[in-house]
Structures are given as C-alpha cells and as structure tokens.
Structure 1
Amino acid sequence: RQSELARTADLSRSTAHNMLHTLEHLGYVQRDDTTRLYRLGAALVPLGQAAAQTTRAAEVAGERIPALAAEVGLSFALAQVTSLDEAVIIDRAYAPSGLHVGITLGDRYGLFDGAIGKCMLAALEPDEADQLIKQSDLAPRTEATITRPKELSREVRLVRGRGWASSVKEFNENHAVAAGIWGSEGRMELVLLALGFPAQLGPKQIPSVGSLLRETADAITEACGGEPTDRVRQVPTTNGPSRAKGSKTA
C-alpha cells in the first residue's frame, strides 16, 4: 500500500504518491484498484533479463580468464561498463608463475584511459565517438599518450574494424589489449583485458593476443545470448565524458 511504502521509505505521502504515479505511468509498478496494493510492473522484465545476462556473462568470463592467464602468461581482468564513459574492474586472474602486472578490483576507467577506453569509444556510433574525442582535452598520461583528436579517431576506427584495442605505454608503462563482450541489445556490457610488461606483451605478441581476446569475447557473447559484434554498437548513456582518476594498470 502507498501508506506502507511511504513509511518504509521515510517519505511524505504526497512524495510517495507522486513517485508511484510516475512509476505506474512508466510500467514499473501496477496498482490493483480493488485492494489498492502495488506490485512490480511488466516494464521491469527486460531490465531484469538484461541484468541477469550481464551477470551470466561476467560469470562465464570469470571462469575463463584463469586459463587464459596461464596460457599466455599475462594478467587478465574483466571490466563492467557501467555508463557511457566508465568501466569498473570486477574480476582478475594472474599467470601461475613469474612476474605479473597487478590489477586492483574496483579501479575505474574512462573513455580516454588506454585499451579499455578505446573499446568504449569504438562501441559508440562513429560520429558520437569523434565528437567526444574533439571535446576532450586528451591530456597526456605518458609520452606515448595519443593527444591528437584525428589520430585517436583513426585508432578508434581501427579498433572498431578488427574488434580489439591495444595500448602501448599510452596509459602507463605497461602494455594492454582489450575486447568487448556484448549484450542482447547490441550494447557492450563487459571488457576483457590482458596486461603485461613490455617484455611480456610486445608489438609482435599484441596481434595474436588481440585475436585471442576477440575470439574469447565473441564466444562469451554468443554463449550468453548477446548480439554479434557487427550489429549496432551502443553502451549505456550518461550525461557526458569524464576521465577516470588514480594510478591504474591498463
């Protein structure tokens, strides 16, 4: 009942009434006129399905990255795309022996942060990605950071065409390769990331690792009911681009 919801949420009756009215209009709740009780609406079904699919894809990817790390001797991570301009590290795996690049769970990456950022930019419509690049100051993180809009736009088009991104000392002194995992609505939901020191992941190794990540990401996409990567590519929207802060690895 409205009165119970207002009391539980510590809202005034008028505020609770207005919120419920809006939610009912959007289909997120339904009101029984006889009992005056509210129940969840049909509009929540696709949202629940999308959340379940992302969870399933994260589980499948999480099961695969330890084997990938052992196979190629690199650090692997899984980032969840939480908005147009941000992805958060939610899982990681290291090679069973030898030195490795450390990965911090919960680290956040923006549109202009290494290989993950390039994947997010490539997931956008080309015109939208180009516009966001032009609007950014592209502040350098290292001497190798791409700071020219036209050059970064060309790089993003390359990523869009081959299905994987790389960062060679552009974000920090490490090298990284990344590929996107797609949801059922053609949205990039997750990013699969490989990290290594320059001696571990050099220019000769990057293309083969990129192909491996692309094949693995495509397999996870298909296994979890996602759209093929040649469909329209979108990510959840937010108010605008931002730049992730802090010392991270990719």
Structure 2
Amino acid sequence: MADPQKTAPPRRGGRSSEGGSAITKMLRVLEEVAGNEPRKLADIATAAGVTKPSVHRILAELTELGYAVADGAGSYSAGPRLRALAAEVADGTAAASIDQLLTALQRQVGQTVHLALRNGDHAVYTQKVESDQPYQMASRVGMRLPLHCTAIGKSVLAHLPADELAAVLASTGLPGRTPATITTPEHLARELAAVRERGYAIDDEENETTIRCIGVPVLDASGTAIGGISVSTVKFLVTAEQLAGFAPALRATADQIALLLR
C-alpha cells in the first residue's frame, strides 16, 4: 500500500493546492471575507489556498447572494446576509431583538419602517414593518434599493470615504428615477454634506413619486455605514416637517440595532 504522506498532493500555506471540494473552497473564501476590513482578491486567494479564478467565481456568487460586498476597488468584505447570520449565531435573540426594535419604532411613528444593509453599490431590504395605514409600500424584503435617491442610501453614501464614494458612483451613475431625483455630482455632494450636518437623510419623492422617507445610518464599530433604517410615508399624510421630527427616534433605534449587528 502506498504511503499516504508520499502520495498526498502538495500543500500551499497549510492547505491543499486545489483548495478541496467546491463547498470547502466556498467556506474558506467566506472565512476570509468575514472580517470587518476589506481584503483584495489576491490576498483572499492566498489565505484561503484557492486559485484566483476560483476565488473570483466564488466571490461573484457570494456578492450576488449578499454574503460578500465588493467595494468597487477590488476589495471584498462581509455582506449584509453574512452580518445578519453572524448576529444570529452570536446571539440567538439578535434577529428577534431587531424585529422588536423596528416594531416599537413603527408604533411610535405610525408609518412603515425599513432596515436595509449595504451590498456593494446598492442596499438590500432585510426587514420591513408595515404601517396600519390604508395603503402599503411597494418595498419588500430582499428588494435592492439605489443609494443616490433613497433616504437609507444617502445616509450610507454620506459616511463613505471619498474614494469609495467615487467608486460607487462610477459604477451606478446618477440615473433619474423621478423628476425630483438628484442627477448631478455637484448637487449630490451638497446633499450629502447636509446629511452629515443634520444627521439624517430625506428622500422627498426622489425614488418614487408621492413617497417621502427619512433615513439614518447604521454604523459598525469603526464608524462605517453598513446600512440604515428609514420611515416611509406618502406625502399627503405626513409633511416634510413632521417627517424630520422622527429623526431622534430613528437615531436611537439605529444605535441599538448597530450594537446587535456587531
């Protein structure tokens, strides 16, 4: 019988050169993007012991599914679904606690409440608490939302480093969704400065006509915006001034959710 130590394939960095089965490769790559710091594809491949072409395919799938996020500059980090999963593993009550916080906020403001987490150049709704008003928002859990014309999205963009913001806008552009959408870089820059100054973002029919939203960021331990929460309503029910009045309650809820997602 052949000596298994003599016939085993060579190992690279403590792992087989082929990286193992497809599932093993995926899990190794997932482990490498699970940290808070973005990592280059080449670094992930080296650490995981998986070839660059395989890592590229795996990361494309993980990004599409929301388990990884591409920053537009060649680096990857944990995506919203991976963060949510980690929170549930670390604390089995985390998801339920987030639901309770969002439900309490909805009861306080009387309008529809959303939580969305950033995934690359867009965000994804992960939770929604519908209002008891005689209408329903078209949004749904799992829906992607653009960043430049939504309250949650602008809250995220306002907290990005300049180079990362530029990469996102280069990827998406500033397409007009309604007549009120911001479509020039100069106008968006002024808007994001205002968001940083007042601590919240407003979407006044910029993504959907008749819909107004207020949003605040959800920040991780380093101060990076990983997503945001919003209150959405129709313009004939809530004035812009009333909407702005929801900001303190939103901020308090976002801070509590941030702690659960860390």
Question: Which residue, 95, 106, 115 being the options, matches 1:78?
Answer: 115
Contact 1:79-1:192 at 8 Å conserved across structures: yes
**1:142 alignment partner in structure 2:** 178
Normalised to the residue count of structure 1, the TM-score between the two structures is 0.64
Tell me whether 1:52 sits opposite 2:86 in the alignment.
yes
Cα deviation 1:11-61 (Å, max 9, x = unaligned): 9xxxxxxxxxx86952x57xxxxxxxxxxxxxxxx9799962487665533
The higher-RCO structure (CA 8 Å, 6+ apart) is: 1
Q: Which residue of 2 aligns with 1:151?
A: 187
In the alignment, is the contact (CA less than 8 A) between 2:105 and 2:250 conserved in 1?
no
CA contact (8 A) 2:102 2:253 kept: no
Distance 2:144 2:218 in 1: 17
Paired residues for 1:206-225 under 5 Å = 206-221=243-258, 223-224=259-260
Please give the alpha-carbon distance, in whole angstroms, between the structure 1 residues aligned to 2:215 and 2:132. Answer: 21
Letter in 1 for 2:99: G
User: Is residue 2:106 matched to residue 1:93?
Assistant: no
Q: Following TM superposition, by how much is the alpha carbon of 1:185 offset from its aligned partner in structure 2, in angstroms?
A: 3.1
1:135 Cα deviation after fit:
8.3
For 1:110 and 1:2, locate their aligned partners in 2 and report how far apart those are by CA, in whole Å. Answer: 41
- Equivalent residue, structure 1, for 2:22: 9
The answer to whether the Cα contact below 8 Å between 1:86 and 1:111 also exists between their aligned partners in 2 is yes
Structure 2 counterpart SS, 1:145: coil
1:187 aligns with 2:200: no
Q: Which residue pairs with 2:52 in the alignment?
A: none
Aligned position for 2:235: 198
Residue 115 of structure 1 aligns to which amino acid in structure 2? Answer: A
* SS class of match (1:204): helix
Distance 1:117 1:59 in 2: 24
The sequence identity of aligned pairs, in percent, is 28
**What is the number of equivalent residue pairs in this alignment?**
196
Q: 1:74 to 1:120 in 2, by over 3 A?
A: same
Larger helix share, 1 or 2: 2
Q: Per-residue CA shift, 1:162-217, capped at 9, x if unaligned?
A: 22111001111111111111122332223112110002332121211123212221
Gaps of 5+ in 1: 12-21, 30-45, 227-250
Please name the residue that 2:145 is paired with.
109
- The verdict on how the C-alpha distance between 1:59 and 1:150 changes in structure 2, with shifts beyond 3 A counting, is farther
Q: CA deviation digits over 1:63-96, x for unaligned, max 9?
A: 211222222111111111122x111111111123
Question: Which shifted more, 94-103 or 204-213?
Answer: 94-103
Q: Give the letter aligned to residue 52 of structure 1.
A: A
Q: The residue matched to 2:246 in structure 1 has which SS?
A: helix
